[in-house]
Amino acid sequence: MASAADQIAANINLGVFSKATELKRRIWFAMFALIIYRAGTFITVPGIDPIAMADVIRQQSRGVLGLFDVFAGGALSRMSIFALNIMPYISAAIIIQLFSSVSPSLENMKKEGITGRIKLNQYTRYLTVLITALQAVGIASGLESATGANGIPVVLNPGLFFKFTTCITLVGGTMFLVWLGEQISERGIGQGISLLIFAGIVAGLPGGIANLLELGRTGAISPFIIALLAVGSVAVIGGIVFVEQAQRRILVQYPKRQQGNKVYGGEASHLPLKLNTSGVIPPIFASSLLLLPLTIAGFQNAAGATEGGFLNTMGALLGRGQPLYLFFYSLLIVFFSFFYTAVVFNPTETADNLRKYGGFIPGIRPGKNTADYLDYVLTRLTVLGSIYLIVVCLIPEFLISRLSVPFYFGGTSLMIVVNVALNTMQQVQAHLLAHQYEGLLKKSRLRGSK
């Protein structure tokens, strides 16, 4: 039998949406913020030749710079003020999360509620500035020696002033995106940082489709391969939606209790555990950590680094599609799957809450046994979820290294797009449900007053 929430969700229509003024205001704010973000990706850093810069990224399109440019929405190929995107912030967030697990002081901050979260966010911003500055200096140094396809230098007037202005511009652009993402989360709809990455990938999707069709027109890829890619993309999207919606529902029973002449409780409920609890976070975190050193290495290679140099060797060993890159990418996905699952779901705390409210899992004793059972189930689910993430994320590497197709048809980008779209639509539905509940409550009050 359908629940009341399901029945109300089924009755949501355009009329309800038109009356939800708060939701419309949030959607318009998010759209306006994304437009500002996309406009900023076309503002070039001072002193850069955009044509030569595009040639450098085109030469590295199958490498790490091409991957970075996808997440940046083409901002890197234009060397815009948002060239580093919000990847330094994600790297800083990873480092703070890791340190909070081993540092007692940071662990106590997490338990302080809103005050602690504000302090941790502030530390994350400080670390973001440091990481962005280091990356900006490395990129500026690499660009000074880089040249385009025709030998045109990327930097018009190299020197200390160029490095200084590039560093200030890139740091300012990244911190602006961090602020913009926070504003989207607070005043808009959806998760701001994820929406920025989503917008960058979607913005490059038409160009990726056009490039693929051009490869088919010139005969570089057969029409059969293009049709197979289209079917495969639909299949991957369907698989992602299926897995992201999959849940393991653990039965929870509440005992009956009597107050006066009335008997309360006795009903059964479910504790839903998602198959992929960590969502799209592990691939983003893994890509961010790999991109952190390889971005500088890629620019050094584009600048003609000497053979046998450390950065050159590291870039060759950890290049896209290389066995070492695939190994570390898979390893980081597994690590962050377990790490982020442990952050968002605490079996011991959940077991204590169930015991506090009288709930229990049939056949499992409350307390430590319940926590151990939940940890056992969650570990098995996380293993399956991490395997799913690895399989989906390795699809683009196969397509690029074997079939030479655009990265946009890969599993990682599709997974990010599908996940963010699903989460955003769930938030929209939650706002519509809340608005409809408010309307029902107002009607009941008016009838009661009569």
Contact residues for 331 (Cβ-Cβ < 8 A; gap 6+): none
Tokens representing 318 are 């950890």
Helix (H) or strand (E) holding 163: helix 160-187
| pLDDT at residue 317 in the model | 67
Distance between CA 115 and CA 117 in Å, rounded? 6
Q: How confident is the model at residue 9 (pLDDT cuts 50, 70, 90)?
A: very low
Side-chain-facing half-sphere of 142: CA atoms under 13 Å: 26
Q: Which three-class secondary structure string do you get for 57-75?
A: HHHCCCCHHHHHHHHCCCC
Q: Does residue 447 surpass a pLDDT of 50? A: yes
Do the strands 268-274 and 262-265 form a parallel or antiparallel pair, or are they unpaired? unpaired
Q: What is the pLDDT of residues 36-95, one digit of tens each?
A: 999 998 988 888 888 888 877 777 665 566 667 777 777 888 888 998 888 889 888 888
Distance, in Å, from the CA atom of 240 to the CA atom of 245, rounded to the nearest integer, reads 8
Q: What is the pLDDT of residues 391-441, one digit of tens each?
A: 888 876 666 666 555 555 556 777 888 888 888 888 888 777 776 666 555
| Helix %, strand %, coil % of the chain (to 5) | 70, 5, 20
21-40 vs 411-449: helix axis angle to the nearest 10?
160
Of residues 343 and 311, more confidence is placed in 343
| Polymer length of the chain | 450
Residue 95's alpha-carbon distances to 8, 196, 300, 346, in angstroms, are: 42, 21, 25, 20
Q: Would strands 247-253 and 268-274 be described as parallel, antiparallel, or unpaired?
A: antiparallel
What confidence category does residue 164 fall into, taking pLDDT thresholds of 50, 70 and 90? very high
DSSP letter string, 252-307: EE--EEEETTEEEE--EEEEEEETTTTTTHHHHHHHHHHHHHHHHHHHHHHTTPPT
Does the pLDDT value for residue 35 go beyond 90? yes
What domains sit in the chain, N to C, each tagged with a CATH number? 4-449 (1.10.3370.10)
Instruction: Give dist(CA 181, CA 86) in Å, integer.
Output: 9
279 class by beta-carbon count within 10 Å (0-12 exposed, 13-18 middle, 19+ buried): buried
Q: What is the pLDDT of residue 33?
A: 92
% of the chain surpassing 70 pLDDT: 77
User: How far apart, in Å, are the Cα atoms of 94 and each of 123, 128, 130, 175?
Assistant: 12, 11, 14, 17
Whole-number pLDDT of residue 439: 58
pLDDT at site 382: 92
Q: At what angle do helices 114-145 and 87-102 cross, to 10 degrees?
A: 130
Q: Residue 284: is its pLDDT beyond 60?
A: yes
Distances (CA, A) of 20 to 76, 429, 436: 38, 11, 9
Helices (H), 41-113: 50-59, 64-71, 87-102, 104-110
Residue 373 scores a pLDDT above 60 = yes
Contact 86, 176 (CB under 8 A): no
Tell me the per-residue pLDDT of 175-206, one tens digit each, with 9 for 90 and over: 999 999 999 988 888 888 889 988 888 888 88
**pLDDT tops 50 at residue 11:** no
Rg for the chain, CA atoms, rounded: 25
Partner residues linked to 256 by β-bridges:
265
Does pLDDT of 300 surpass 60? no
Q: What's the distance, Cα to Cα, between the start and end of the chain in Å?
A: 33
Single-letter code of the amino acid located at 232:
G
Q: Which of 53-67, 108-122, 231-245 has the lowest mean pLDDT?
A: 53-67
Model pTM greater than 0.95? no
CA distances from 58 to 51, 66, 230, 392 (A): 11, 8, 24, 25
